[in-house]
Structure 1
C-alpha cells in the first residue's frame, strides 16, 4: 500500500490575510486558513480526519457512511484509489439505488468505491452494533475497518487538534463550518488559552453541542478549549442553499479570488460577515476563517 507521506500533503496549510471592508470598518482583521490546499483530492478537514484512520486501517477494506452529496464519501473514495485500498460507501436512502448516480456519487464509483444504499430508517441506527453488523454482512465487509459518517471519531478529532496547533497565537477567534462536529472538537483542543473556536453548523436541529462534548470526552477524556456554536446560518439545512447565499458566495469569490464551496464554507463566511456587522467581535480582533473544502467542480480529477 502507498504510504500516506507519498501523497505529499501541504502542511501546515497556508494562512493569508485578506482585505475586506466589511471587517475592516469594524476594526477586525480577517485571515483565511487554506485547508482546501492541503491535498487536491483529500481536501481540507477531510485529510486531517481521514489520514489517522487510514493509517489505523493498515491496508484493510474501509467502510464508511454518508449522504448522496457527501464530501467525506468522495474523499474516502479518492484515498482508496490513490492508496490501492478497497472502499465501500454506505449511502443514506435506499430509493437512490434506482436512480442515476449524481455527480458526487458517480465520482465515488469512478474511484472504485462500492456503493451500498440503505433505507433511511436503517441509516438512522447505523451506530447500533446489531444494525452495523447487519450492514457489514450485507456488504460482505465483516472484517472491514469502519469509519463513521463524516469521519468523526477519536482518531479524527486528535488529527484535527493539529489544525488548532497550527493556529496557536495567530487569531483571537477561529471559525469553521460544522457538519458532525469532529473538526471543531479537535480544533478547539489545539488552540492556546485565550483563543476561541466558533462553529457554524450547516444542519438544522441544534444537536451539535452534545455531539462535540461527546467527541471530546471520547478523544481526550473531557472538555477541551473554548468553543461555541451559532446555529443561525444553516440556510434550511444540509445541502441546501438560497439565492441570497449563492449571490453572497459569488460576490466573495469575485472580491477575493477565493473559490467558495457552497454547502459549508459559504455559510461560515456569511455568518462571519453578519456577526461582524452585529459588532460581535471587538475592535482589534483577528479572525481566522478555516476554508475546509473546495467547490466540487474545482476538485482535481
Structure 2
C-alpha cells in the first residue's frame, strides 16, 4: 500500500528560487522512501521465483536492513541480514535498528569487517547458501536493476514543472532512476553521503542520460558523520516545517541545497524539487550516540 505522497513547498528565496520537497518518506510507515521503491519489484521477482527467503547486507543502523525485515514479515518471506561487525551480536537490544529487524523476524549473521568486504564474491555467496539454504539475494543498499526500475517511478508528470531534481546518494540506485525518467529540461543533482570517486563510475554504468552531477561538499566528514552545525540545521528545519530529516542522507542534502541557493548556484526563478528518501528510523540510533557525547539530539516525530 502506498500512502499519500505529495510535493510540499518549503520557501521562495530572495533570488526567486522556489524549493519544494517530495514526501517519499510518507509512502509507508516502515518501508519508506527509496527503500519502498527499491524493494517493490524485487519482492515481486522473489515471489515469481517461488523464493521463501530474502538475504541482504547492512550495517548497524541500516535503513535497508530495517525495511527488508518489515517487508519480509509483511509479504511472507523469511529474512536474513548479514551485518557488518561481529561485535554487534551482543548489542542487539541496545540498537534500535537491529532490535526492530529482529522483532520483525530477521535472522542475523554477524560478519567481521574484513570478511564483509567479500559480500559480492560468488564463493562467499555460496558459503551463505550452505549455511542458510536457497534465498533471493538483495544487495547492500538494495540497488540492482529492479531497484532502479522502482526508483524510476518516483517522478510523475506533475514534476515536469521543476528545473532541478535533488536527492541524496548512497549506492546510486535512486539517482539513476531519477535520471532515467527526468524530463529533457531537467537537471538531476546528487548529494553523496560518503566520500569516493567510484560513485560517478557506478552511476554512469546504470544511468541512461548525462543530465546530472554530484556535489560532494556536504558530506560533513563522511558516511554517518555529523556535526553540531548539521544537527542545529536539522532541528531548525523541523521547527520551521515540521518535516523531520535524517542526519546521514536527507539532512545533508537539504543543507546543501539551501546553501547552494544562497550562493546563487541555481539561476534566478528556478524551481527545485528535493526528494525526501525516508531513512528516519536511523535517527534513534544517532540520538543515542549524541546523548552519550552530551550533544544536542535530533528532533523528530518518530
Q: Name the residue aligned to 1:30.
A: 19
CA RMSD of aligned residues (A): 1.7
Q: Name the residue aligned to 1:69.
A: 61
Matched, 1:181 2:172: yes
* Distance in 1, Cα, partners of 2:189 & 2:238: 22
Q: Name the residue aligned to 2:42.
A: 53
Give the drift of 1:136: 3.0
Contact 1:50/1:151, CA 8 A, preserved across alignment: yes
In structure 2, the CA distance between the partners of 1:157 and 1:150, relative to structure 1 (3 Å rule), is same
Task: Name the SS for the 1:163 alignment partner.
Answer: coil
Choose the corresponding residue for 2:71, options 79, 83, 92: 79
* Distance in 2, Cα, partners of 1:187 & 1:150: 17
Deviations 1:125-167 (A, max 9, x none): 21111122123323x13x1000001110000011111113456
Flag as ranges the 4+ runs of structure 1 deviating above 6 A.
Answer: none
In structure 2, the CA distance between the partners of 1:148 and 1:299, relative to structure 1 (3 Å rule), is farther
User: Could you tell me the TM-score, scaled by structure 2's length?
Assistant: 0.88
User: Could you tell me the TM-score, scaled by structure 1's length?
Assistant: 0.89
Unaligned 5+ segments in structure 2 are 285-299
Q: How does 1:1-301 map to 2 (within 5 A)?
A: 8-10=1-3, 13-19=5-11, 24-58=13-47, 59-101=51-93, 102-138=95-131, 140-141=132-133, 143-166=134-157, 168-216=159-207, 223-296=208-281
Contact 2:244/2:301, CA 8 A, preserved across alignment: no
Contact 1:167/1:191, CA 8 A, preserved across alignment: no
Q: How many correspondences in the alignment?
A: 281
Contact 1:176/1:289, CA 8 A, preserved across alignment: yes
Unaligned 5+ segments in structure 1 are 1-7, 217-222
Task: Name the SS for the 1:232 alignment partner.
Answer: coil
